[in-house]
Structure 1
Amino acid sequence: MAPRIMICGDIVWAHNEVKELFDGLAEVVRMDSPDRADFLANLESGGRYEGTIAIYRHNSSADRIGIFDREIIEALALSVKWIAHNGAGYDQIDVIACKEKGITVSNTPGAVDDATATTGLYLMISAFRQFARAERNLRAGAWKSGLSSSLTHDLTGKTLAILGLGGIGLRLAELARAFPMRIIYHSRRRNEHAPEWAEYFPVEKLDEFLGATDVLSVHVPLRKDTEGFVGEEMIRKLKKGAIIVNTARGKVIDEAAMIRALEDGHLGAIGLDVYPDEPAVNPRLLEFPQATLLPHMGTETQDSQRKMEVRALTNIKDYLTVGKGKDVVPELQAKL
């Protein structure tokens, strides 16, 4: 009997790849539960999903069954050994519960770098130049009302501070370098792949890092210990008039502290693609004309979506054929 893999959520672009990867290798079962209760019931012996050993997971599945929290992880059959998440961020999966149950979780780093970095670049340019506000004016027939060159800046010569220099942050650094901008970064450790022109600031120089910042681009993964990481103290240490761009996760920033800094002018502008309680957006953010706001568009390109789907599915194929896939999330790498 062929091993079973479950497709939990959307496959939009890689239908042919599903056939190519798994024909003759595994039985592909679609998660068709209308709600969480049905999903949990069919994980049990005799249910539609019995015998599943690996799961492809897309965030769209949360619309019907919710996130992969401890309840779902504990309900998974002991046969399940791999969850291949489609996405770089995997905060919708309880990886600690997975670790306790012996389930490996992979994500799709690299596949999202270009699309998310160009989203960050747009947000940064718009925040510096107030382009989103200008477009809203034009559409409303207000032309340049309220706009002034005193509110805008060139990017050339400004300092881009990257908080978390992973694949996305590094790609943004490469794009921004073309203006050129000074590129500085802070991570838990120096990135060995960083070019020599990207200046590393360790934790003992964090205040210096923040004080030099014209735009802070946030690329910190969301975990319990990073909720509110960019908080009041960090924001107030930024140069007055600095910009914050966030394409990571909304909860990494203390939203109330960011709003206070916009209100009193300490922050000059913001560019956000992510929010703490998506799809809800704090209505206070809509009151700031200097805010460029997108509805989590970071990876919404055909190219990146296909790459993400194929990369997640390939991790499952590698597990089935060689015993382990790539892209294991950092919390679980130590056990491999």
Structure 2
Amino acid sequence: MSKPQVLIAANPKNGIVWSKEEQASKLGAVAEVLELTSSSREEFYKDLASGGKYANIVGIYRHNDSASAIGVFDKDLIEHLPSSVKYIAHNGAGYDQIDIAAATAKNIQVSHTPGAVDAATATVGAFLAISAMRQFARAEQNVRNGKWKTGLSPARDPEEKTLGIIGMGGIGKALARRLIAFDMKVIYHNRNEITPPPDFPCKYIANVDDLLKQSDIVSLNLPLNEKTKGSFGKKQFDLMKDGSVLVNTARGAVVDEEALLAALDSGKLFSAGLDVFPDEPNVNPKLLSNDKITVLPHMGTETRDSQKKMELLVLDNLISALSGKGLLNQVPEQKK
């Protein structure tokens, strides 16, 4: 009996990089694996149509870099998928490039990779927090440009400051554990208090406004969706402590960039650390020219160790689903 077909929707030059052996031995044992060769959305639609090379696929391994060839998995693309498609296994904790409502309407189950990204993203968040507090990015540019300490003013110590985490999921917890080592007090806001409580000292704050008023560093660790897009703006910055710090490793579109720049220019914020931007790889030039901001090019999971963990988790989701056991990490919206 023929095996079900699975499409690896990734940049053909990359595909599955760190788990080739597992792709061949484990996924290959339960599925016929096809590689994405479509170079445009129009060509992809033809390949999906009856008689096309992807007309009978059951599962899709999706990587964000496939967007450079076929675009994001919006409603239009999902509606073009053949009825044979039952699973989209996404490589990434964030899945805002997939229209979950459209997938659900078509009875397509979607998974992502929570857990696999926690450590690497939290390390980036910790770096951004410390760099922003100590102004290490500005200092590095000084020494590279032969200016030594010219124009540098005394920064702030992270010790005994309050870290406010908005979105205490796996990444938030990993970040808290890292910054507790700097003698920080941790408070957090989720829709609901975590039970049982985390295995480190922290306090739940039911009202996000209260968290903003108490925090020296605010870390954004929440998903991007219609409710969170642009949700962190002037009102939130006005509530923050004078001289506080914002760290964003979530999604760039969560933050109103003009409000952030205004808060930095006024001195309301001491500094900021950003790993994500609304229109990546394009970055607002005003952010780049502002030396109060530490910027990184979305380095959250740019380690071979984390990328392999993510790849393996995507493969495990597909293998589990094709074996009749369901997806291991189905997105929360489809579990309601």
Secondary structure of 1:2 counterpart: coil
- Cα distance in 2 between the residues matched to 1:220 and 1:97: 22
Provide Cα deviations, 1:270-322, integer angstroms capped at 9, x if missing partner. Answer: 00000111111011112211110000000000000000011011100000113
Partner residue, 1:199? 203
Secondary structure of 2:17 counterpart: coil
Query: Which aligned pairs between 1:148-167 and structure 2 lie closer than 5 A?
Result: 148-149=153-154, 152-167=155-170
Partner residue, 1:139? 144
Partner residue, 1:64? 69
Q: Does 1:30 align with 2:35?
A: yes
Select which of 288, 292, 295 maps to 2:294: 292
Partner residue, 1:253? 255
Provide Cα deviations, 1:40-70, integer angstroms capped at 9, x if missing partner. Answer: 1110111011210000000010011110001
Secondary structure of 2:222 counterpart: coil
Provide Cα deviations, 1:119-177, integer angstroms capped at 9, x if missing partner. Answer: 0000000000011111111111111111122xx11111000000000000000001111
AA matched with 1:199:
K
Percent identity at matched positions? 48
More displaced, 157-166 or 139-148? 139-148
- Cα distance in 2 between the residues matched to 1:207 and 1:24: 52
Q: CA deviation at 1:180?
A: 1.0
Contact 2:237 2:263 in 1 (8 A): yes
Partner residue, 1:263? 265
Partner residue, 1:4? 5
Q: CA deviation at 1:194?
A: 1.9
Query: Which aligned pairs between 1:172-251 and structure 2 lie closer than 5 A?
Result: 172-192=175-195, 193-195=197-199, 197-203=201-207, 206-251=208-253
AA matched with 2:202:
A
Q: CA deviation at 1:240?
A: 0.6
- Cα distance in 2 between the residues matched to 1:6 and 1:23: 12
Q: CA deviation at 1:196?
A: 5.5
Select which of 149, 169, 173 maps to 2:172: 169
AA matched with 1:185:
Y
Q: CA deviation at 1:195?
A: 3.2
Provide Cα deviations, 1:69-124, integer angstroms capped at 9, x if missing partner. Answer: 01110000011000000000000000000000000000000000000000000000
- Cα distance in 1 between the residues matched to 2:63 and 2:88: 10
More displaced, 191-200 or 160-169? 191-200
Contact 2:46 2:52 in 1 (8 A): yes
AA matched with 1:77:
P
AA matched with 1:7:
I
TM-score, normalised relative to structure 1: 0.96
Partner residue, 2:112? 107
Secondary structure of 1:60 counterpart: helix
Q: CA deviation at 1:239?
A: 0.2
- Cα distance in 2 between the residues matched to 1:110 and 1:97: 25
- Cα distance in 2 between the residues matched to 1:24 and 1:125: 46
Partner residue, 2:53? 48
Select which of 300, 308, 311 maps to 2:310: 308
- Cα distance in 1 between the residues matched to 2:137 and 2:6: 44
Provide Cα deviations, 1:246-288, integer angstroms capped at 9, x if missing partner. Answer: 0000011111111111111111100000011111101111221
Runs of 4+ in 1 over 6 A off after TM superposition: none
Select which of 52, 76, 87 maps to 2:92: 87
